[in-house]
């Protein structure tokens, strides 16, 4: 059996010398190296920005969505959207483990990978079902987990698809828990979506009675979802591409103070400046959205003279899987909503 690099560089076909995520093409042969795990895949949870782009390209046609997804994997050996650069994650069952793999996984374990599909060797034999409302696709296929790949064994106290929906965005509520302090003013843009709802829960819990949490929804419907659950102190739907308009609204609601923390969870482009303007000087903007442009954020902040700390949405931080699942255990209303929407 061939020896593998813990970071998966042995799978890179082109360009040589890069890691699997930035690579254009990787080897998706399902014969494992000595430190890899082979997974029989059940469901792909496609990144929201990626699925939105694919659905738009397909004109909403499910068969065309299948064709586009299979085409991406056939060309790249992984599901890395060539437009957004993002992937998603999967759930499946461990089929084979290399003898040099270090970890507690066992054959037969059901798990969710917590590394992006944009770096995961994948084969799609057949797409069984497409659920556009929740960005999930059931397939027959296989995937490879590298030695460095993080994962979560699926919990037994909730449906698999429910756990997957939370684990897919686990980095967002975990970062909210890390960033928000008692008394903070927090703005969550895209607060009515999956990651936004989880962030609102954590922000409200951490900011406490002396803080203020503002939910900016992408639509009246999504805003109402958050309002019914009582996850914030203020709610309003707004087009987050209107940077000055959002700045004015947040300024009004905060008495000119603006936000200590802005969390961007939207899945569309050109919302960087709304996030930056809504934040006070020396405050923090957390861009969880994969639609974020680093160039637009960096040069845009400079252009308006905003001295803010900006955090790029690393999908991983310590204990993020546990934190995301715990939110659903703590909040019965949120869990019920996620069960209705995703499970």
Q: Residue 255 has what pLDDT?
A: 98
Q: Which residue has the tokens 């042969």?
A: 29
Torsion, Cα 286 323 185 233, to 10 degrees, reads: 120
Cα separation, 4 vs 7, whole angstroms: 8
Q: Does residue 199 share a domain with residue 321? A: yes
Element (DSSP H or E) covering residue 84? none
* Model confidence band, residue 251 (pLDDT cutoffs 50, 70, 90): very high
Asked whether residue 166 is assigned to any structural domain, the reply reads no
Asked whether residue 238 is assigned to any structural domain, the reply reads yes
Q: Residue 338 has what pLDDT?
A: 92
Q: Residue 274 has what pLDDT?
A: 97
Element (DSSP H or E) covering residue 88? strand 88-97
> Is pLDDT above 80 for 343?
no
* Model confidence band, residue 237 (pLDDT cutoffs 50, 70, 90): very high
> Mean pLDDT in the chain?
95
> Is pLDDT above 90 for 239?
yes
Domain with residue 271: its CATH number is 3.40.50.720
Q: Residue 202 has what pLDDT?
A: 97
Q: Does residue 179 share a domain with residue 143? A: no
> Is pLDDT above 80 for 315?
no
Torsion, Cα 118 121 126 130, to 10 degrees, reads: -20
Q: Residue 291 has what pLDDT?
A: 83
Asked whether residue 119 is assigned to any structural domain, the reply reads yes
Q: Does residue 238 share a domain with residue 135? A: no
Asked whether residue 53 is assigned to any structural domain, the reply reads yes
**Residue 319, both tokens:** 């204990």
Asked whether residue 219 is assigned to any structural domain, the reply reads yes
Cα separation, 59 vs 12, whole angstroms: 33
Domain-terminating residue out of 103, 125, 154: 154
Cα separation, 86 vs 135, whole angstroms: 13
Q: Phi/psi of residue 125, each to 5°?
A: -80, -40
Q: Residue 307 has what pLDDT?
A: 97
Pairing relationship of beta strands 37-46 and 136-145 according to DSSP bridges? antiparallel
Q: Does residue 322 share a domain with residue 177? A: yes
Asked whether residue 249 is assigned to any structural domain, the reply reads yes
* Model confidence band, residue 65 (pLDDT cutoffs 50, 70, 90): very high
Cα separation, 335 vs 82, whole angstroms: 33
Q: Does residue 143 share a domain with residue 39? A: yes
Core vs surface per residue 74-94: b (16+ CB within 10 A) or e: eebbbbbbeebebbbbbbbeb
Cα separation, 98 vs 100, whole angstroms: 6
Q: Residue 168 has what pLDDT?
A: 81
Q: Does residue 126 share a domain with residue 19? A: yes
pLDDT digits (tens, 9 = 90+) for 24-53: 999 999 999 999 999 999 999 998 889 999
Helical axes 220-229 vs 194-207, angle rounded to 10°? 40
Cα separation, 46 vs 100, whole angstroms: 30
pLDDT digits (tens, 9 = 90+) for 261-280: 999 999 889 999 999 999 99
Comparison of pLDDT for 248 and 315, the residue scoring more? 248
Asked whether residue 51 is assigned to any structural domain, the reply reads yes
> Is pLDDT above 90 for 303?
yes
* Residue 208 lies in domain: 171-342
> Is pLDDT above 90 for 195?
yes
Structurally, how many domains does the chain consist of?
2
Q: Does residue 211 share a domain with residue 297? A: yes
Domain-terminating residue out of 108, 126, 154: 154
Mean pLDDT, range 189-205, rounded to an integer: 96
Domain-terminating residue out of 124, 154, 184: 154
pLDDT digits (tens, 9 = 90+) for 133-148: 889 999 999 999 999 9
Q: Residue 161 has what pLDDT?
A: 82
* Model confidence band, residue 169 (pLDDT cutoffs 50, 70, 90): confident
Q: DSSP per residue over 126-157, as a string?
A: EEEEEEGGGTEEEEEEEEEE-TT--EEEPPSS
Q: Residue 247 has what pLDDT?
A: 98
């Amino acid at each position: 059996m061939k020896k593998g690099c813990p970071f998966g560089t042995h799978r890179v076909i082109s360009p040589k010398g890069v890691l699997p995520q930035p690579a254009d093409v990787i080897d998706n042969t399902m014969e494992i190296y000595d430190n890899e795990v082979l997974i029989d895949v059940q469901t792909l949870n496609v990144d929201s920005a990626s699925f939105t782009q694919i659905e738009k390209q397909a004109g909403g046609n499910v068969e065309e969505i299948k064709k586009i997804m299979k085409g991406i994997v056939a060309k790249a050996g992984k599901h890395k959207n060539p437009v957004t650069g993002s992937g998603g994650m999967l759930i499946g069952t461990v089929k084979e483990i290399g003898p040099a793999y270090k970890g507690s996984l066992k054959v037969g374990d059901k798990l969710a990978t917590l590394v992006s599909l944009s770096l995961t060797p994948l084969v799609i034999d057949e797409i069984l079902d497409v659920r556009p409302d929740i960005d999930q696709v059931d397939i027959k296929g296989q995937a490879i987990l590298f030695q460095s790949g993080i994962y979560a064994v699926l919990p037994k106290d909730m449906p698999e698809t429910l756990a997957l929906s939370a684990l897919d965005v686990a980095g967002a509520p975990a970062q909210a828990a890390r960033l928000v302090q008692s008394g903070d003013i927090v703005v969550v843009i895209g607060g009515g979506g999956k990651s936004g709802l989880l962030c609102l829960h954590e922000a409200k819990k951490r900011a406490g009675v002396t803080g203020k949490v503002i939910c900016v929804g992408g639509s009246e419907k999504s805003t109402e979802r958050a309002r019914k659950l009582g996850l914030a102190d203020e709610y309003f739907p707004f087009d987050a591409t209107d940077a000055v308009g959002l700045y004015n609204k947040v300024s009004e609601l905060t008495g000119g103070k603006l936000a200590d923390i802005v969390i961007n969870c939207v899945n569309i482009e050109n919302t960087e400046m709304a996030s930056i303007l809504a934040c006070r000087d020396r405050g923090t903007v957390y861009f969880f959205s994969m639609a974020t442009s680093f160039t637009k954020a960096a040069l845009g902040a400079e252009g308006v003279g905003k001295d803010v700390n900006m955090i790029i949405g690393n999908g991983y931080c310590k204990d993020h899987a546990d934190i995301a699942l715990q939110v659903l255990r703590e909040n019965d209303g949120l869990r019920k909503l996620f069960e209705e929407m995703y499970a």
